[in-house]
Structure 1
Amino acid sequence: MSLSALPMVSDADVRSVITVGDAVEVVQRTYADFGQARLSLSRPAITRIGDGTRGFGLKGALLDRYGVAGVRVTPTHASGGNSWCLVLESESGRPLVAVEETWLHRLRTAASAAVAARLLARPDSRVLTLVGAGRIARFVPAAFAAAFELTEIRVVATSAGSAASFAAGQSVPGVTLTSGTDLDAAAPGSDVVVAITSARRPAVRPRHLLPGGTLIGLGGGAEIAAEVLTATADRFFVDDLGYARETGSVASWLGGGLSPDAVDGHLTGTLPAVAAGLLPGRVAPADRILAVVQGVAACDVALACLTMRRLGIA
């Protein structure tokens, strides 16, 4: 019997070889591959094992570009520790590496928002309003700075102290950061609004998506009011509709009585289709565009694979 240890890559190792720019470019390239049917996602999008006391969520993908498959394993209980991405050789299924993915996943989430904005927002967008000041939100300013020539970031949170602390902890060259608790005051003049909250009731209303603006929802709660979709947005995109129906704003709309047919009827298309050049994102400068981005596991696997190769593991 031959025993060999599976390489384990820590968060610190990942941070030593992956940059914000890497994440933005990998996410956009992976979206394009998805749109061109060069990768496959697990179906259902997520499989849950166990319960709130002891359990895990599993999301996977197979990527033709890299010749690998991967499974992202996330504890669903409070004491479960960090997430991991197990990368496999696609032909044989042989495990190649396990990549700790807490830091990398937060970066990927922020990069996904920046790519969505790159595909949908006006190219001259300069002002970003960020709704939420949590752990993932802290990665958003740098990701957007890698995709746009920003001049201002407005941070809005329910706590003035949290918003101010967030703004004080960010350093984006050439960008002014302001903070507050009033989205009504921050939204006017914003080119892009990104919401990443755990709100149980809508924090973003139709009045916050103005002509020419782009609104991107990343959170797992009911952060965007259904009326933004049904009465305000001119165009509506998701990254993966199947998973979007299970969590975040789309799930909250369905849970609140909006029918699946109504959601589908407002859907313009997917971000992967836009990235692949199969569908236009913004058609007119004044379009009000809504996107809900809940995460494509293929992006996590692609970044884990890049980490593996940068470290010379395979």
Structure 2
Amino acid sequence: MRFLSAADIAKAVPMAAAIEAVAQAFGKLARGEACIPLRTAISIAEHAATTFFMPGLLTGEMPALGLKTVSVFPHNIYRAEPTIYALVTLFDPTSGRPLAVLDGTYLTALRTGAASGVATRLLARPDARTLVVFGAGAQALPQIQAVLAVRPTINNIWIVNRTRDRAMLLAARLRGEGFRGDVRLATNLEVALAEADVICTATSSSVPLFAADLVRPGTHINAIGAYRPDMAEIPPELVARSRIFVDQRQAAWAEAGDLIQARAAGLIDEHHIVAELGELVNGTGNGRTSADEITLFKSVGNAVQDLAVAALALQQANTLGLGVEVRL
């Protein structure tokens, strides 16, 4: 088996390549070329934590069989530990032989950012200039990297975060990676959202992050933080006003608090989901239809993302000689 660290994956799969791999994976999901059961979640109440087990199979070109295990422990932040730990294990889909174990913590951030990159490429206005990011944790930087990869017109980034120190650290990392536009820390949501062309929400909030009327027409939103029915980042009224897209309908209605709470309030129903992301990739769904529409991509995460990026990482690692080989 080959063991790949976060550094190995970063060398093997840059963001642009991850975006393409995730786009193809969602296309497969929509075409029925993937077997992705609903993930199993185990809650650890005393730590406000959840561990997810996400199996899956991709067929067709670059097939992949694997399992991702991801633990989300929000209180780790108070112990100076990552709030997400994860592993991805790949198996040979023709024999079941174990092939690789990958650092799933970095891979999770990379593939989640890549999904927002696909959605932004397909749904955001081509002339987008300003990005507003809610959250400054592990998911924030990949979200920004993905949006910049598909909308190089972005020259202004607002960071909204509860703690100023983490927001300043994220801003410094952006500048260190060569972003030459304006990076500002938002102290007034009205000012930031009045300029927003793209919004990314990457928090663990249980209540909406802003008022619905602060979002202007034509904005695209990537909502990736709320992964349980009791969590929500987007106001129900805004969900109802938006043109809604999801990674997978079944998973979204089972897990996405943003949608579940809006439905419980009687503001939306199943027909409000316009398309899955893979349907947009395949050209069988319609995306943005006017410059004034608010488009919302709601993601709860799907194992096709992990499998596609992990398979690409393993392929590149074998070519580049990355990682450590271990005989079982």
Q: Is the 8 A contact 2:160 2:167 kept in 1?
A: yes
**Residue in 2 aligned with 1:18?**
13
Flag structure 2 segments of 5+ consecutive residues without an equivalent: 320-324
CA shift, 1:81, in A, is 8.0
**Residue in 2 aligned with 1:214?**
220
**Residue in 1 aligned with 2:277?**
271
CA shift, 1:194, in A, is 0.9
Amino acid of the structure 1 residue aligned with 2:301: G
CA 1:258–1:58 in 2, change beyond 3 Å: closer, same or farther?
A: same
- Matched residues in 2 for 1:302 and 1:50: separation? 27
Count of paired positions: 303
Q: Is the 8 A contact 1:206 1:225 kept in 2?
A: yes
**Residue in 1 aligned with 2:41?**
48
- Matched residues in 2 for 1:63 and 1:100: separation? 20
CA 1:126–1:87 in 2, change beyond 3 Å: closer, same or farther?
A: same
The answer as to 2:103 corresponding to 1:111 is: no
Amino acid of the structure 1 residue aligned with 2:236: A
Picking from 184, 187, 190, the partner of 1:184 is: 190
Q: TM-score with structure 2 length normalisation?
A: 0.84
- Matched residues in 2 for 1:193 and 1:34: separation? 26
Q: Is the 8 A contact 1:32 1:276 kept in 2?
A: yes
Q: Is the 8 A contact 2:72 2:85 kept in 1?
A: no
Q: Classify the secondary structure of the residue corresponding to 1:83.
A: strand
Q: Is the 8 A contact 2:16 2:146 kept in 1?
A: yes
Q: Is the 8 A contact 1:160 1:181 kept in 2?
A: no
Q: Is the 8 A contact 1:219 1:248 kept in 2?
A: no
**Residue in 1 aligned with 2:322?**
none
Q: Which has the higher helix share?
A: 2
Residues 166-209 of structure 1, C-alpha deviations (whole Å, 9 max, x = no match): 22331243322111132221011211111111112111332233
**Residue in 2 aligned with 1:71?**
67
Q: Classify the secondary structure of the residue corresponding to 1:128.
A: strand
Picking from 94, 99, 105, the partner of 2:97 is: 94
- Matched residues in 2 for 1:303 and 1:226: separation? 32
- Matched residues in 2 for 1:58 and 1:188: separation? 39
**Residue in 2 aligned with 1:132?**
135
Q: Is the 8 A contact 1:61 1:297 kept in 2?
A: yes
CA 1:13–1:265 in 2, change beyond 3 Å: closer, same or farther?
A: same
Residues 111-145 of structure 1, C-alpha deviations (whole Å, 9 max, x = no match): 11121111111122121111111121122222211
Q: Is the 8 A contact 1:68 1:87 kept in 2?
A: yes
Amino acid of the structure 1 residue aligned with 2:67: V
**Residue in 1 aligned with 2:251?**
243
Structure 1 residues 148-159: aligned runs within 5 Å: 148-149=151-152, 150-159=154-163
Q: Is the 8 A contact 2:87 2:101 kept in 1?
A: yes
Amino acid of the structure 1 residue aligned with 2:265: L
CA shift, 1:56, in A, is 4.0
The answer as to 2:178 corresponding to 1:168 is: no
CA shift, 1:246, in A, is 3.9
CA shift, 1:55, in A, is 7.8
Most deviating of 192-201 and 12-21: 12-21
Residues 67-120 of structure 1, C-alpha deviations (whole Å, 9 max, x = no match): 221111123566998311111222322221111211111111111112111111
Identical-residue share of aligned pairs (%): 25
Q: Is the 8 A contact 1:67 1:91 kept in 2?
A: no
CA 1:73–1:236 in 2, change beyond 3 Å: closer, same or farther?
A: same
Q: Classify the secondary structure of the residue corresponding to 2:19.
A: helix
CA shift, 1:284, in A, is 1.1
The answer as to 2:314 corresponding to 1:308 is: yes
CA shift, 1:49, in A, is 5.0
Q: Classify the secondary structure of the residue corresponding to 1:210.
A: coil
**Residue in 1 aligned with 2:303?**
297
Q: Is the 8 A contact 1:222 1:252 kept in 2?
A: no
